């Protein structure tokens, strides 16, 4: 009987701390009276919900030649999955991201020239569009996409 009560109390405590972590993850509200060290393990379980956004974003590189901007296929240089490319191109560990992106554009221009595509300028742009239940690029239309210039490298 005591073992049964102990197991139920342990299970209720586990559920309660999970709810505390979920409340902080989704609403940034801590349950009053519950110390944070008790919740940290359960908060770590909420990782999929911690940085949820309602939009998709992608780094786009474009080269200028013949008076037009052409999109450069980055999968030739970043042969990873789409998610890993997104993480690698965000470069969150660098303090001065603009200089890193400019160096990336310069190197991209050199590699493209080696492949026979010579551009007078390379620009790097962040594109952002609403998420869709039908796929990553489903909401990626000119009307719904916002573009932010990150950097541009000119010869």
DSSP codes, 45-75: TTHHHHT--SEEEEEEEEEEETTEEEEE-GG
Burial of residue 62 (CB within 10 Å: 0-12, 13-18, 19+) is: middle
Both 130 and 69 in one domain: the answer is yes
pTM across the whole model = 0.65
Both 6 and 29 in one domain: the answer is yes
Both 108 and 130 in one domain: the answer is yes
Both 85 and 18 in one domain: the answer is no
Both 44 and 28 in one domain: the answer is yes
Both 70 and 100 in one domain: the answer is yes
Rounded to the nearest 10 degrees, the angle between the axes of helix 2-27 and helix 36-44 is 80
| Greatest extent of the chain over all pairs of C-alpha atoms, in Å | 82
Name 147's Cβ contacts closer than 8 Å, sequence gap at least 6. Answer: 60, 125, 126, 127, 128
Q: N- to C-terminal Cα distance for the chain? A: 80
Distance CA 153, CA 106 (A): 6
Both 145 and 71 in one domain: the answer is yes
Residue 9 domain boundaries = 2-50
Both 45 and 62 in one domain: the answer is no
Both 125 and 60 in one domain: the answer is yes
Both 140 and 108 in one domain: the answer is yes
Give pLDDT tens digits along the chain (155 positions).
899 999 999 999 999 988 888 888 878 788 888 888 888 888 887 777 666 778 888 889 999 999 999 999 988 888 788 777 777 776 655 567 888 889 989 999 999 999 999 999 999 999 999 998 898 888 899 999 999 998 999 98
Both 27 and 101 in one domain: the answer is no
Both 36 and 104 in one domain: the answer is no
Look at the chain and report how many structural domains it folds into.
2
């Amino acid at each position: 009987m005591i073992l049964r009560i102990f197991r139920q109390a342990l299970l209720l405590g586990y559920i309660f701390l999970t709810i505390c972590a979920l409340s902080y993850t989704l609403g940034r509200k801590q349950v009053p009276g519950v110390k944070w060290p008790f919740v940290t393990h359960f908060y770590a379980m909420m990782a999929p919900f911690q940085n949820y956004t309602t939009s998709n974003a992608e780094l786009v590189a474009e080269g200028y030649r013949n008076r037009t901007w052409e999109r450069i296929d980055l999968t030739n240089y970043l042969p990873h999955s789409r998610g890993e490319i997104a993480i690698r191109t965000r470069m969150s560990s660098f303090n001065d991201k603009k200089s890193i992106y400019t160096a990336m554009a310069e190197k991209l221009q050199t590699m493209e020239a080696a492949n026979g595509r010579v551009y007078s300028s390379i620009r790097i742009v962040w594109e952002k569009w609403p998420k869709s239940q039908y796929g990553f690029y489903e909401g990626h239309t000119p009307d719904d996409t916002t573009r932010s210039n990150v950097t541009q490298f000119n010869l």
